[in-house]
């Protein structure tokens, strides 16, 4: 009996796992068909996807790229044999081929398209050191600082002395501030610096620009705001509102938490007022009421008015999002900052804000996305953003009746931008994740 | 124009030279451009083409005024306005004139302080139904569901009409014309009602226009015309007589083809007065002698403008109807140039 050994003396070779648990089959079995209920759900979902795609895809892949009008598209479709119960079925992509440039640039002069394109390429360059701080040399931040002056100059054109003068205001404000804060208190420095900058911008810079322009007329062709339209308008409003609302929102959020009573109530009043009215009301104020209040003959640029209103609106929401981040910080962080002997601004900059902003990232980005999509509301006050243009395009007798193609194209463009922002925020959250949770 | 700079980020177009309420005509001449309020897009009346150039029936009037005043039919800044912003845009001076298929009504003329200088299109509210419904008169529409744009005079007219005829209907509120087309084609409503010109343009876009009929009833008067601000009569006169010049030109047979020939002088003294070879009409308006000639030349006379933008040869295919000359049984009747 002893020669029957039940114990192996040598190792068996490793074997592949059963085919049903590896690869696509195994994955499907584990995730899609793990029991009878999941199998039914999987089959039902597959059928639903099939039904939707089989309805949409033939419509999307329609040979009408060269159509010259809606009727022409229908002829093409009839010739191709795609005729359903309710007449021809298929998209009429000719409208996109003919109008996509208009949907992107509005009425911007076509020989100057390089300017908005360059402006948005440079925008990416200027944003890179901010967005990807660890991958881009920090010296690029100098360019980011100059970019707010390059951007409007590229889009609106005109003399180069305009943005130079605007930049000069900051320089003058800074010089006055540092001089006054050395000799007097720093509060006086801030007040005098701001006053000097404002005097420069509103009183002196006009003469400065006029004088330098007559001596040294360097400039590019000016483009009126009325020529702005399409996606360029949306992005311009969106970028300016996003870029300006974040710092403004931080200031408002800090102001709301401030111990200084007047500052606090001004901030609370502003935030609650702006959040209490719909954006569309503010836009109507910008487009109609301001015109009536201002002296006759004043021509206050409509896009500038809209920019200001959208920025204020976004800033109020941003302030509340950031206040949420501030509220989420444990009190110990503030006390820790105090115990290190940091003053208010140092504590904010080094300890409070980096944490509060990190907590607020999802809220901030969703506010950004919301603001970007809200820019389409300007079509209601007669600005031709993509939605306004879609209406104008339908007013062309050739394209009257085209609906889905235009909206689909616009939705696609918006999706690209919003999805991009959303992915970036997830990247940023992962990068800044320091393991508190 | 002096540019001032604000925060560097944004330039503000400065004040126009003479802030004091100079006449609109002086403003326009000083600016070198006419600011003309148009719709944000209405088939046949105003729409930008793929090059961004505005075209249409209302647009042609803006160009004619620009040609008369400034000598260039392209010296126009088209300001798209919506139904909500159009009146404030005009009242605040953002635009010099509105040519935006606006119905001339008492309250707009008197209460809102505007001046309608004439009528360039006589419209009226009509009905469109599918042929399969078998209806030949709006009075047979008892119990019908009606697609109607909310917040417009068409909604009120419709209620009045059905009440006066003692029949019932069910409104399907919609927001835009594009939405109405989709709803109507999808069968969400039996009837679509809006201005007859709009109905014709909508029907022209259908795949089978023959399956839909426009009912004979026109239930409202919609005289559409250009308007200017109250009180600036010199400017109002310029716009009014530019429109009249286009209408008279058709009546007198002046076309863009024969205008050069005619302006050499004809036997008809009124033609000569319009074209400036006789009399001093232009001077009375504060313009030069050839103002009307330029206005007519830029897009042709009223009939040519009509035919080119909304007439029977276009996809919209509107008949002249009420908009024929009085000599042809229509309502167009320009006062004499004398």
Contacts of A70 in chain B (CB under 8 A): 205
DSSP A133-179: TTTS-GGGHHHHHHHHHHHHHHHH-EETHHHHHHHHHHHHHHHHHHH
User: For residue range A29-49, what is the model confidence (pLDDT) as tens digits?
Assistant: 888 888 899 999 999 999 999
Which of residues A177 and A46 earns the better pLDDT score? A46
The Cα of A86 is separated from the nearest Cα of chain B by a number of Å equal to 9
For residues B149 and B239, what is the distance between their CA atoms, to the nearest angstrom? 31
In a domain, A376, yes or no: yes
Strand-pairing partners, residue A220, are A158
Closest residue in chain A to residue B76, using alpha carbons only: A226
Q: Please tell me the predicted confidence (pLDDT) of residue B12.
A: 31
For residues B106 and B122, what is the distance between their CA atoms, to the nearest angstrom? 16
Closest in A162, A391, A397 to B315, CB measured: A397
Contacts of A166 in chain B (CB under 8 A): 5-9
Closest CA to A127 of A246, A9, A16, A38: A246
User: For residue range A53-76, what is the model confidence (pLDDT) as tens digits?
Assistant: 998 998 888 888 888 888 888 888
CATH number at residue A326: 1.10.3720.10
User: For residue range A78-117, what is the model confidence (pLDDT) as tens digits?
Assistant: 888 877 766 778 888 999 999 999 999 989 988 889 999 9
A369 is in which domain, residue-wise?
229-437
In a domain, A20, yes or no: no
For residues B96 and B33, what is the distance between their CA atoms, to the nearest angstrom? 10
Asked whether the predicted pLDDT for residue B18 surpasses 70, the reply is no
Q: Please tell me the predicted confidence (pLDDT) of residue A51.
A: 95
Q: How many CB atoms lie within 10 A of CB B214?
A: 15
CB atoms A288 and B85 under 8 Å: yes
User: For residue range B223-232, what is the model confidence (pLDDT) as tens digits?
Assistant: 999 999 998 9
CB–CB of A188/A180 below 8 Å? yes
Asked whether the predicted pLDDT for residue A196 surpasses 80, the reply is yes
Helix, strand or coil for residue B226? Answer: strand
For residues A350 and A256, what is the distance between their CA atoms, to the nearest angstrom? 20
Contacts of B48 in chain A (CB under 8 A): 102, 107, 384, 392-393, 396
Contacts of A391 in chain B (CB under 8 A): 40-41, 176, 178
- Chains A, B: CB contacts within 8 A come to 189
Q: Please tell me the predicted confidence (pLDDT) of residue B201.
A: 83
In a domain, A418, yes or no: yes
Question: What are the sequence ranges of the domains in chain B?
Answer: 26-122+223-328, 125-220
Strands (E), B54-197: 54-55, 76-81, 97-103, 114-116, 121-123, 125-130, 144-149, 169-174, 191-195
Specify the DSSP element, H or E, that contains B223.
Answer: strand B222-229
CB–CB of B10/A162 below 8 Å? no
User: For residue range B178-216, what is the model confidence (pLDDT) as tens digits?
Assistant: 788 888 988 899 999 998 888 888 888 888 888 899 898
User: For residue range B91-104, what is the model confidence (pLDDT) as tens digits?
Assistant: 888 899 999 888 89
B34-39 and B10-12 strand pairing? unpaired
Closest in B41, B77, B82 to A394, CB measured: B41
The Cα of A335 is separated from the nearest Cα of chain B by a number of Å equal to 37
User: For residue range A244-288, what is the model confidence (pLDDT) as tens digits?
Assistant: 999 999 999 999 988 889 999 999 999 999 999 999 999 988 887
Closest in B39, B41, B52 to A102, CB measured: B52
Closest in A165, A295, A400 to B5, CB measured: A165
CB atoms A388 and B40 under 8 Å: yes
What's the average model confidence in pLDDT over B108-130?
A: 92
In a domain, A389, yes or no: yes
Number of domains in chain A: 2
Contacts of A304 in chain B (CB under 8 A): 6, 10-12
User: For residue range B277-290, what is the model confidence (pLDDT) as tens digits?
Assistant: 988 999 999 999 99
- Map tokens 């040294």 to a residue: A216
Share of chain A above pLDDT 90, in %: 35
Closest residue in chain A to residue B35, using alpha carbons only: A226
- Map tokens 């204020």 to a residue: A312
Contacts of B81 in chain A (CB under 8 A): 382
Average pLDDT, chain B: 87
In a domain, A153, yes or no: no
Contacts of B202 in chain A (CB under 8 A): 400-401
Q: Please tell me the predicted confidence (pLDDT) of residue A436.
A: 58
Contacts of A388 in chain B (CB under 8 A): 40, 80
**3-state SS of chain B: helix, strand, coil percent to 5?**
40, 20, 40
Interface test with A, best of B11, B16, B207, B310 (most A CBs within 10 A): B11
Interface test with A, best of B24, B42, B52, B194 (most A CBs within 10 A): B52
Contacts of A102 in chain B (CB under 8 A): 48, 50, 52
Share of chain B above pLDDT 70, in %: 93
Closest in A87, A292, A300 to B88, CB measured: A292
For residues A315 and A252, what is the distance between their CA atoms, to the nearest angstrom? 8
Contacts of A69 in chain B (CB under 8 A): 315
Closest CA to B303 of B255, B238, B240, B239: B255
Confidence of residue B304 (pLDDT cuts 50, 70, 90): very high
In a domain, A25, yes or no: no
* A185 contacts: CB under 8 Å, gap ≥ 6: none
- Map tokens 């904010």 to a residue: A348
User: For residue range A410-435, what is the model confidence (pLDDT) as tens digits?
Assistant: 999 999 999 998 998 888 888 887 66
CATH topology identical between B26-122+223-328 and B125-220:
yes
User: For residue range B138-156, what is the model confidence (pLDDT) as tens digits?
Assistant: 888 888 999 988 767 788 8
Class for the domain spanning B125-220: alpha beta
Closest in B51, B82, B92 to A380, CB measured: B82
* B142-170 core/surface letters (b: 16 or more CB in 10 A; e: else): eebbbbbbeeeebbebbeebbeeeeeebe
For residues A202 and B157, what is the distance between their CA atoms, to the nearest angstrom? 52
Average pLDDT, chain A: 87
Q: Please tell me the predicted confidence (pLDDT) of residue A297.
A: 60
Closest in A69, A163, A381 to B85, CB measured: A381
In a domain, A260, yes or no: yes
What's the average model confidence in pLDDT over A126-137?
A: 81
Q: Please tell me the predicted confidence (pLDDT) of residue A395.
A: 86
Confidence of residue A437 (pLDDT cuts 50, 70, 90): low
φ/ψ of B5, rounded to 5, equals: -120, 135
What's the average model confidence in pLDDT over A354-373?
A: 90
Asked whether the predicted pLDDT for residue A218 surpasses 90, the reply is no
Asked whether the predicted pLDDT for residue A152 surpasses 50, the reply is yes
What's the average model confidence in pLDDT over B308-326?
A: 90
Share of chain A above pLDDT 70, in %: 96
**B26-122+223-328 adopts what CATH topology?**
D-Maltodextrin-Binding Protein; domain 2 (3.40.190)
CB atoms A393 and B10 under 8 Å: no
Of A92, A117, A135, the domain-final residue: A92
Q: Please tell me the predicted confidence (pLDDT) of residue B13.
A: 31
Q: Please tell me the predicted confidence (pLDDT) of residue B2.
A: 36
Closest residue in chain B to residue A153, using alpha carbons only: B9
Q: Please tell me the predicted confidence (pLDDT) of residue A17.
A: 83
Query: What is the token pair recorded at B186?
Result: 């999808």
User: For residue range A158-176, what is the model confidence (pLDDT) as tens digits?
Assistant: 888 888 888 888 888 888 8
């Amino acid at each position: 009996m002893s020669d029957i050994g039940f114990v192996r003396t040598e190792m068996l070779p490793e074997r592949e796992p059963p085919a049903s648990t590896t690869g696509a089959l195994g994955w499907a079995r584990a995730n899609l068909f793990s029991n009878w209920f999941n199998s039914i759900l999987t089959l039902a979902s597959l059928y639903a996807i099939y039904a939707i795609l089989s309805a949409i895809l033939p419509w999307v892949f329609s040979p009408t790229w060269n159509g010259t009008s809606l009727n022409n598209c229908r002829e093409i479709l009839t010739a191709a044999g795609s005729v359903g119960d309710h007449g021809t079925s298929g998209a009429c992509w000719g409208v996109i081929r003919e109008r996509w440039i208009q949907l992107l640039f509005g009425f911007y002069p076509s020989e100057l398209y390089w300017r908005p394109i360059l402006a948005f390429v440079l925008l990416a360059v200027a944003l890179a050191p901010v967005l990807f701080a660890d991958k881009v040399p920090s010296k690029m931040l100098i360019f980011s600082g100059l970019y707010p002056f390059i951007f409007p100059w590229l889009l609106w054109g005109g003399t180069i002395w305009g943005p130079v003068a605007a930049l000069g205001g900051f320089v003058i404000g800074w010089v006055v501030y540092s001089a006054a804060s050395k000799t007097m208190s720093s509060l006086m420095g801030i007040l005098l610096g701001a006053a000097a900058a404002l005097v420069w911008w509103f009183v002196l810079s006009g003469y400065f620009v006029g004088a330098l322009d007559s001596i040294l007329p360097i400039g590019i062709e000016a483009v009126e705001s009325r020529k702005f339209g399409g996606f360029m308008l949306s992005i311009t409003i969106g970028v300016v509102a996003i870029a300006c609302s974040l710092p403004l929102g931080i200031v408002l959020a800090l102001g709301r938490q401030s111990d200084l009573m007047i500052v606090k109530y001004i901030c609370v009043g502003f935030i609650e007022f702006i959040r209490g009215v719909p954006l569309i009301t503010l836009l109507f104020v910008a487009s109609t009421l301001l015109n009536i209040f201002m002296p006759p003959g004043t021509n206050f640029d409509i896009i500038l008015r809209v920019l200001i209103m959208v920025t204020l609106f976004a800033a109020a929401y941003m302030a509340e999002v950031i206040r949420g981040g501030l509220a989420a910080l444990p009190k110990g962080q503030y006390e820790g900052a105090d115990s290190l002997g940091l003053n208010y601004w140092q504590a904010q900059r080094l300890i409070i804000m980096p944490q509060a902003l990190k907590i607020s990232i999802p809220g901030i980005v969703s506010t950004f996305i919301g603001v970007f999509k809200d820019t389409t509301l300007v079509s209601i006050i007669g600005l031709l953003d993509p939605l306004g243009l879609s209406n104008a395009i339908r007013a062309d007798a050739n394209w009257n009746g085209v609906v889905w193609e235009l909206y689909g194209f616009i939705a696609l463009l918006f999706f690209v931008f919003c999805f991009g922002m959303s992915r970036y925020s997830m990247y940023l959250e992962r990068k800044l994740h320091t393991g508190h949770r | 124009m002096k540019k001032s700079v604000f925060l560097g980020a944004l330039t503000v177009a400065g004040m126009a030279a003479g802030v004091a309420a100079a006449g609109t005509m002086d403003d326009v001449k000083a600016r070198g451009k006419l600011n003309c309020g148009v719709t944000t897009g209405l088939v046949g009346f105003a729409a930008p083409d793929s090059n961004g150039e505005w075209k249409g029936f209302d647009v042609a009037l803006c160009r004619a005024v620009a040609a008369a005043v400034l000598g260039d039919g392209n010296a126009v800044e088209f300001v798209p306005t919506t139904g909500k912003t159009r009146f404030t845009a005009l009242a605040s001076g953002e635009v010099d004139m509105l040519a935006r298929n606006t119905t001339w009504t008492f309250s707009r003329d008197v209460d809102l302080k505007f001046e309608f200088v004439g009528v360039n299109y006589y419209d009226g509210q009509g009905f469109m139904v599918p042929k399969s419904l078998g209806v030949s008169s709006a009075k047979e529409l008892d119990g019908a569901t009606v697609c109607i744009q909310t917040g417009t005079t068409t909604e009120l007219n419709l209620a009045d009409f059905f009440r006066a005829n003692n029949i019932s209907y069910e409104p399907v509120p919609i927001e835009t014309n594009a939405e109405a087309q989709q709803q109507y084609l999808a069968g969400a409503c039996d009837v679509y009602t809006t201005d007859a010109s709009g109905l014709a343009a909508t029907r022209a876009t259908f795949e089978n226009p023959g399956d839909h009929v426009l009912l004979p009833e026109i239930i409202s008067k919609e005289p559409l015309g250009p308007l200017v601000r109250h009180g600036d009569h010199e400017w109002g006169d310029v716009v009014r007589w530019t429109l009249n010049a286009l209408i008279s030109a058709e009546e007198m047979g002046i076309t863009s083809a024969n205008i050069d020939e005619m302006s050499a002088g004809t036997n008809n003294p009124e033609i000569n007065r319009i074209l400036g070879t006789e009399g001093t009409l232009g001077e009375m308006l504060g313009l030069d002698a050839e103002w009307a000639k330029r206005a007519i030349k830029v897009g042709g006379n009223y009939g040519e403008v009509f035919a080119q933008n909304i007439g029977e040869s276009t996809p919209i295919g509107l008949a002249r109807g009420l908009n024929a000359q009085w000599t042809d049984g229509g309502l167009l009747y320009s006062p004499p140039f004398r």
